[in-house]
Amino acid sequence: MSEKPTPSEQIALGNQAKLIIENPAVQEALRKLNQKFYEEWCRTAPEDVETRERLYAHVQVQRSWFSCLNAILGDGQISNSAMAAAKGKAR
C-alpha cells in the first residue's frame, strides 16, 4: 500500500493493529524479550559498551514497532469517528 489509505482502509488497518496489540501471544513475546534484554544488560561488564548499545537498539526497535501499531490504531479510530460523524450529518 504505497498511497495513503482510504478512511475505510484505515479503519481496517486499525482493527488489525488492535488485534496484534491485544494478542496474548504478542504481549507474552514482548514481555519475554524485555526480560531477556534486561537480564543480558545486567550481566554486561561496565566496559562492554557495545553490548549495552546493541541491547538498547533492540529495545528502541521494539518500542518503535509498538508505537507504529498504536499510531495505526489511532488513525483507524479517528477515521471511524469521522465516518460515523459524517453519517450522522447525512441523516
Q: What pLDDT shows up at residue 81?
A: 92
Rounded to two decimals, the pTM is 0.81
Contact 73, 21 (CB under 8 A): yes
Q: What pLDDT shows up at residue 25?
A: 98
Query: pLDDT 10s digit of each residue in the chain, 91 long?
Result: 568 899 999 999 999 999 999 999 999 999 999 999 999 999 999 999 999 999 999 999 999 999 999 999 999 999 999 888 888 876 6
DSSP letter string over 2-51? Answer: -SPPPHHHHHHHHHHHHHHHH-HHHHHHHHHHHHHHHHHHHHS-TT-HHH
Q: What pLDDT shows up at residue 86?
A: 85
